[in-house]
A and B are shown apart, each in its own frame.
Chain A
Amino acid sequence: MTTTIEPAEDEASVSSLISVRGLGVSYDVARTGKKLVAIEGVDLDVREGEFVTVLGPSGCGKTTFMNVIAGLVKPSAGQVLVAGEPVTGPGPDRAVVFQDYALLPWRTVFDNVKFGLEMQKGLKGDGWRDRVQEAIELVGLSGFEHSYPRELSGGMQQRVGLARAIVAEPRILLMDEPLGAVDALTREVMRAEIEKLIAATGKTVLFITHSIEEAILLGDRIVVFKSHPGAIKEVIETGLARPRSERSIQSDPRFLELRDHLWDALQGEATAAAVSK
């Protein structure tokens, strides 16, 4: 392994938007009376406007990690600060894009996107219509406002999920394997669109994935998780210029280097997981 892959420097927590300190989550298993440790001892700082990808094998606790930041799961140790305030529950500064889209089947595209505003800020005045419309246009769904989710393809449904997340203008976007359920071709197209969208809106993003390519293509930094128990294995600065076109980057030596490194890291994890079972 070459020495060019250096651990990213620790940021000072003052300048970071999200700051995770000594985070641990464990569950009581009622049947056996034992404790199941999902994640343990996680420290991480995310700057405003940064795109952080979280990479790890399935079952490594990366989704639990995201759920804590979203405010859906209470930590059993440590804490999460967002803009200096401890997270106690879901809030309008954070929005989530789900792997299974989680759209309301009884609402049209327009009303699904509206849902993001409705629940968080209420619908006062008339401005909200324009904002919903704007979000729909931003994800390229103009003309589908009155379609129901079941009438859309998986990729289009996830665009709705994306629009719903950005419509209330959160500072942080939490994305839980958002492209995990769409087909390979759509995934490539949407990766590029997500990158463009984030660049345009300047949001801070935590993007969970189990695809090495995706982690490198999208992230400013890559957080690699290990399992049993879930914890951060390493954090890597990608140092790749933006915008990153999928074609040109495939031959970039830095990309290849990162890919080999991450491949080895995950391979070790997968083997360890297989042995421990």
Chain B
Amino acid sequence: MSTFLASGPNLGRGGIGAWLAGLSARGKALVLAAEVVVMLVLWQLVVGVLGWINPVFFPPPSAIWQGFLELWSSGVLATNALVSLQAWLTGFAIAVAIGIPLGLLMGTSLPVDRVVGPIAWTIYATPTIAYQPLAKAWFGFGIGPVIFLVAISAVFPILLNVAAGMRTTNPSIIRAGTVFGASRFQLYRSVYLPSTVPFLFAGLRQAVVLATIGMVVAELTGSAQGMGAVIIRAANTYQTDQAFAAIALVVVWSVGMTQVVTLVERWVAPWTRKARR
């Protein structure tokens, strides 16, 4: 999130750019909030009031809110969100349970790294949607393929980040540990593992985003339940307001879980917070 708040190349300009750059953090947040409000009002105006765009294709904020209320009051939201939640959490837990130990093993043993690494990268490079029809054929039409796609989407960023973290442990810290007489086990516990922690959380953050994409893809293409199923049903019946409301909820989930990972990281690994001097 920091990129657009960065000062950027100094082009020696004045005016509004300089004014914005000179704002305090709170001032910037206020300007941003105002922008969001302006954007929403404009959207409402163009689609809802002036009708320049067909509201079926691009419903205004008020209609999306209406759609949300409809989903809520009919109980559709609760049942489907629960199914998605269950699939997401199960898949993610499987990914974590496989990814962390295997990543640590790859980081510890060079032969494992050289065998698992290329295979993992090859699978990771392929969008997981390619595996969806197989998952459907193997696991049926229920929650099974959704869990599979979430897990396979999330496991590789975790695995590869943990392995990379172990492999890139600062050699001079390892040397320091050796000089102070650390045993192999002490070195592992006091040097390798802590320096892998930031990588693990980076991997988890990527995994959250990819797992959510995997979940939506799986639910869109062959699941009777879940948020993806709500979206596609709503779209097929031209209730785009409901579709947008469901999409918004998925976005909130994805962003929320990323924040959760960041909060856990701050708690577990306070040293990774950026220095403010």
Contacts and interface: CB of A to CB of B under 8 A. Distances in A.
Interface of A: 70-72, 90-92, 94-96, 98, 100, 102-107, 115-116, 118-120, 148-151, 164, 168
Contact of B271 (A91, A94, A116, A150): A150
B179 A100 contact: no
A172 to B, nearest CB: 12
B180 A105 contact: no
Interface of B: 170, 172-173, 175-182, 186, 190-191, 194-195, 197, 269-272, 275, 277
Q: Which 7 A-B pairs have the closest CB atoms?
A: A102-B176, A119-B180, A102-B172, A106-B194, A119-B182, A106-B271, A96-B179
A100 B191 contact: no
A102 B271 CA distance: 15
Nearest to B269: A106
A104 B275 CA distance: 16
Contact of A98 (B172, B197, B271): B172
A70 B170 CA distance: 19
Contacts of A120: 180-181
26 contacts: A72-B178, A72-B179, A90-B180, A94-B179, A95-B179, A96-B176, A96-B179, A98-B175, A98-B176, A100-B172, A102-B170, A102-B172, A102-B173, A102-B175, A104-B176, A104-B190, A104-B191, A105-B195, A105-B271, A106-B197, A107-B271, A115-B180, A118-B190, A119-B186, A119-B190, A150-B271
Nearest to B194: A106
B277 A151 contact: yes
A119 B177 contact: yes
Contacts of A119: 177, 180-182, 186, 190
B200 to A, nearest CB: 13
Contact of A95 (B175, B180, B275): B180
A149 B271 CA distance: 9
Contact of B275 (A70, A72, A96, A151): A151
A159 B173 CA distance: 16
B18 to A, nearest CB: 30
Contacts of B180: 90, 95, 115-116, 119-120, 164, 168
A94 B277 CA distance: 35
Nearest to B275: A150
A72 B175 CA distance: 8
A148 B182 CA distance: 21
Contacts of A168: 180
B31 to A, nearest CB: 30
A72 B182 CA distance: 12
A92 B172 CA distance: 19
A39 B61 CA distance: 75
A104 B194 contact: yes
Given A91-B181, A96-B179, 8 more contacts: A90-B181, A102-B172, A104-B176, A104-B190, A106-B195, A115-B190, A119-B180, A119-B186
Contacts of A102: 170, 172-173, 175-176
A104 B175 contact: no
Nearest to A102: B176
A236 B238 CA distance: 91
Contacts of A150: 271, 275
